[in-house]
Amino acid sequence: MKLRYEVSGEDMSLAGKASGEVKRALGRLGVNPAAIKRTAVCMYEAEMNMVIHGGGGVAEAELSPDRVVVTMRDSGPGIPDLELAMQEGYSTAPEWIREMGFGAGMGLPNMKRNSDELRIDSAPGKGTTVTIMVKFDSSEGTGA
């Protein structure tokens, strides 16, 4: 099963909509709650980064019986120093985002911690593609 969502970069009130939809779809398919939570955390963090830094983009989730692969693509400014961006607490979020309670520099580290595989392809001026894979235990099923 493949799911696809447009992520607005202009409306913070819509941030998290795509990750919420995937979370509900995984629940309807009977995926283990722990795997649903891990997927939702990863996807939400990536979605917030797309809204805050990337000007929005496209979120896709491909569900199979043993895993979900989430791909988040934006055409924003890219990440100039990925190693630095992966450090907990490092943030380039603007002050107004921080005032809303976001931008603490935990997004990428949380994605890494909650995924089985995380790939980030980014370059200045080229946008960012984040690919997240979360495996389901063999005792879990998706019905997909």
- The token pair at 93 is 């979020």
- The token pair at 77 is 């400014």
pLDDT at 15: 86
Q: Where are the alpha helices (DSSP H) in the chain?
A: 17-28, 33-52, 82-85, 95-99, 107-114
State the pLDDT confidence band at 143, using cuts at 50, 70 and 90: very low
- The token pair at 7 is 């992520």
Q: Which residue has the higher pLDDT, 8 or 101?
A: 8
pLDDT at 140: 41
- The token pair at 41 is 């955390």
Cβ atoms of 52 and 100 within 8 Å: the answer is no
Domains of the chain: 2-135 (3.30.565.10)
**Per-residue pLDDT tens for 100-134?**
888 888 899 999 999 999 999 998 899 999 999 99
Decide if pLDDT at 41 tops 80.
yes
Decide if pLDDT at 39 tops 90.
yes
**Per-residue pLDDT tens for 46-71?**
999 999 999 999 999 999 999 999 99
Residues shown for the chain? 144
Closest to 52 in 3D by CA, of 20, 88, 100: 100
CB atoms within 10 A of CB 119: 11
CB atoms within 10 A of CB 94: 12
The pair phi, psi for residue 53, each rounded to 5°, is -110, -30
pLDDT at 141: 41
